[in-house]
Amino acid sequence: MDQIKTGELIRKLRTRLGLTQKQLAQHLSVSDKAVSKWERGSGCPDVSVLPLLADIFGTDINALLCAELDSSKGVRNDMKDLRFYVCPDCGSMITASTEASVVCCSNRLSALEAKKAAPEDMLKAEEIGDELQITGDHEMTKQHHISFIAYVGDSSMMMFRQYPEWELRATLPVLRFGRLYWYCTKHGLMYQDL
């Protein structure tokens, strides 16, 4: 193990996730000084910490030990890691499967943080034949509406634009597992598992 290269990789993966050294240390039950030491190449994580560290970074232990990410399997980037961005000026919807720097209408956008929908806020998913009909009772005024609904599975994503003063509706094929996301102009990004 090359301590300097491993430290550089740990720093790169930590910053990619937007974690501070202290936050990473808390997840690992170590001190932030230990994380700083690893990132400077003055030491390396204990073998007992490597599995948790790999899990946090979405990589494998071997990638940490070799300080190399195999682009095909080093960091998991499946569709469930999808990030959503919405421009506050024009309402454009942008997605990215990894950390991205997104600018729209001169605004630097941050990835939206999805909140699990409360039971009363959930959308209705009704199976009709071989389709899944998504509807809801959400207000659809110009000032307060759902601007998009997205279905995200392991390897696919479908997005449905919604418009104020229209009926809230999306139709997708019946899928076994996945997650529905929707963006409310007042309450932000929400999700529910199907």
Sequential pLDDT tens for the chain (194 residues): 788 888 898 998 888 888 899 999 998 999 999 999 999 989 889 888 888 888 888 777 878 888 776 543 444 445 667 899 999 999 999 998 877 889 999 999 999 999 999 999 999 999 888 888 999 999 999 999 999 999 987 678 899 999 999 999 999 887 767 889 999 999 999 999 88
Contact 63, 74 (CB under 8 A): yes
In the chain, the amino acid numbered 30 is V
Judgement on whether residues 61 and 14 belong to the same structural domain of the protein? yes
> For the whole prediction, is pTM greater than 0.95?
no
Judgement on whether residues 18 and 88 belong to the same structural domain of the protein? no
Judgement on whether residues 89 and 59 belong to the same structural domain of the protein? no
Judgement on whether residues 36 and 87 belong to the same structural domain of the protein? no
By DSSP bridging, strand 157-161 and strand 115-116 are: unpaired
Cα separation, 35 vs 66, in Å, equals 18
Indicate the DSSP class of residue 79.
G
Domain limits for position 42 = 3-66
Q: What is the pLDDT of residue 80?
A: 65
Nearest one of 83, 96, 78 to 181, comparing CA atoms: 83
Total number of domains in the chain = 2
Judgement on whether residues 124 and 149 belong to the same structural domain of the protein? yes
Q: What is the pLDDT of residue 121?
A: 92
Domain presence at residue 49? yes
